[in-house]
Amino acid sequence: EVSEISERSKQNVAHGLAWSFYVGYLKIVLPRVKKSMEEFSRANPNMLVCRETWKLHILVPLNCDIYDDLEKADSNIQYLTDLAETTVTRAGIKKRVYKHSLYAIRDEDNKLWHCAVEFATPLQSLYAMSQDECAAFSREDRLEQAKLFYRTLEEILKGSKECTGTYRLIAYEESGEAETHFLSREILWHLRQQRHEEYAVCEGNQLNNPATTLSSTELNLQISESDLPQPLRSDGF
């Protein structure tokens, strides 16, 4: 009965997607990110000048609108190359390959900033569910679950020692107006903040959040505790 209630209210959708994303992907690749970035930096010393940005930047659009080609989404984002591959035999797949793409982000002064960036792919599932009548998943459900996905993933990663300092979650909500370089501005703000954190820690200065970037506190205010996924059984099994 509890399981049926949870399924009807869709409480377990985002929770399950976040854990699957972590266990099946991030836990595998994130511990190797810094090594890959370091190898690339040795070969290209003038690109990755800020070590604080040697992370995987994970885009979390709350409308679940994911672009397969970042260059087409924003002309200020240019693909450079792929970082060193991680090869793992997993789930019956021999030598399964994981890799990250490195991009150059052009700012308003025509300066290039370099980083590894990709979307949180499980959001594609949320978007697809909202488009499929069989899922009975409304746009409101999708937005709520996207917020819960972000909060859950954030909590999981915070508790993961092997992933500490290897990622940057970028949650945002696009405005209704069409903005040509919205995505590049979001990424640039986070890159600048990380550079600020690396070079001005002792100054005690902080940057203000851009209007579109959402903090976990803001997301928390929009989802009640009763909406969080609950265990299906209370006996510990």
pLDDT on residue 230: 43
Q: Where are the domains of the chain?
A: 7-208
Superfamily of domain covering 7-208? Stimulator of interferon genes protein (3.40.50.12100)
pLDDT on residue 87: 87
pLDDT on residue 31: 95
Dihedral Cα 186, 188, 189, 193, nearest 10 deg: 140
pLDDT on residue 140: 84
Span between the terminal Cα atoms of the chain, in Å: 17
Q: Which long-range contacts (CB under 8 A, 24 or more apart) does 85-92 make?
A: 86/28, 86/29, 86/32, 86/36, 88/28, 90/28
Q: What is the mean pLDDT of each run of 10 residues along the chain (237 residues)?
A: 48 86 96 93 88 95 93 95 89 89 96 96 89 73 91 96 96 78 95 81 50 55 45 38
pLDDT on residue 127: 87
pLDDT on residue 139: 80
**What's this model's pTM, rounded to 2 decimal places?**
0.81
Token reading at 219: 């997301």
